[in-house]
């Protein structure tokens, strides 16, 4: 028995809806992946910043000691 035009239209709309949902899920996953990668990068930069601040403080102390010795 052939499908009615209404049933065919409903099936097409349903398939399009599922494809749209699948695309949205993939886009959301891409955004999550990008966000996670950005967070890891930010955490790495934060650690590097702390190390540079400590190195700067150590160099200031060493510079003061050299200046006092002169």
Tell me: the pLDDT tens digits for 2-24?
657 666 777 878 989 999 999 99
Q: What is the reported pLDDT for 6? A: 64
pLDDT exceeds cutoff 80 at 50: yes
pLDDT tens track for 31-49? 999 999 999 999 999 999 9
Does the pLDDT of residue 1 top 70, yes or no? no
Q: CB under 8 Å to 11, separation ≥6 — which residues?
A: 3
Measure the CA angle with vertex 50, ends 53 and 35; round to 5°.
Answer: 140
Half-sphere exposure of 22 (CA within 13 A, CB side): 6
């Amino acid at each position: 028995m052939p499908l009615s035009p209404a049933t065919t239209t409903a099936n097409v709309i349903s398939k399009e809806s599922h494809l749209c949902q699948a695309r949205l899920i993939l886009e959301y996953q891409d955004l999550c992946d990008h966000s996670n990668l950005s967070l890891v990068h930010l955490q790495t930069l934060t650690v590097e910043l702390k190390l540079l601040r400590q190195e700067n403080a150590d160099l200031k102390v060493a510079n003061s000691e050299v200046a006092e010795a002169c």
